[in-house]
Amino acid sequence: MERSGEREFAHQVLRTIRQIVRQISEHSKTLSKESGLTVPQLICLKAIGDAEDEGGGGLTVAGLAADVALSAPTTSRIVDRLVRADLVARERSARDRRQVVLTLTASGRARFAALPVPLQERFLARLMALPEDEREVLLSSLERVTRLMDAEDLDASPLLTPEADLRDE
C-alpha cells in the first residue's frame, strides 16, 4: 500500500473508532435527558423490573450486580441513588428474611414502563442476528484492536456507556 493509501486507511480506522465512541456518548446523553437516569441506573432499574415481571420475587444487590455485569460496590452505589430517587425499595425477602431484595416503588414501576431502549440492547439484537461466523470474526477483530491500543488489561463492564457514568455512581 502506498504511503497516502496507508495514511487514508489509518484515518478510516481511527474515524470508525471515534464514531463508535461518539455514538455511545451521544446515546448516553440522550437517554439521560429522556429518562433522568444515567445509563447504569437505567439498566439496573430495567433489570429489577424485569426480575419482578418474571416472578422472581426481586433481586438482591449481588444478584443485580451479576445480571448487569457490574461490581457489587458499583451496583450498590447505583441502588443507593435509585432508592434516594424513590424508584427502588429495599425489602426483606418473604422467602428468606435474611435477604434484602430490591423492588420497584410505584414511581419506579411507572418509570420502568416508560424506559427508552438502551443502545446496547439494540446493538446486541442486531449483533446476534448476524451469522455466527461473522460474529466470531467481529469479536476477533475487536479484540485485536484492544491489543493494538494496549487496552486488553483494562477492566470494562459490558455496558455501552461513557466510563464517566460508572465513576459517577
Q: How do the pLDDT tens digits run along the chain, 169 residues long?
A: 567 788 899 999 999 999 998 998 888 888 888 888 888 898 899 999 998 888 766 788 999 999 888 888 889 999 999 999 999 999 877 777 677 889 999 999 999 988 887 788 889 999 999 999 999 999 999 999 999 999 888 777 666 666 555 555 5
Domain count, the chain: 1
Host domain of residue 78? 3-115+158-167
What single-letter DSSP state applies at residue 91?
A: E
Contact between residue 105 and residue 49 where contact means Cβ atoms under 8 Å apart: no
Apex CA 82: angle with CA 67 and CA 35, to 5°?
90
In a domain, 30, yes or no: yes
pLDDT at residue number 169: 55
Q: What are phi and psi of 100, to 5 degrees?
A: -105, 125
In a domain, 138, yes or no: no
Contact between residue 92 and residue 99 where contact means Cβ atoms under 8 Å apart: yes
In a domain, 120, yes or no: no
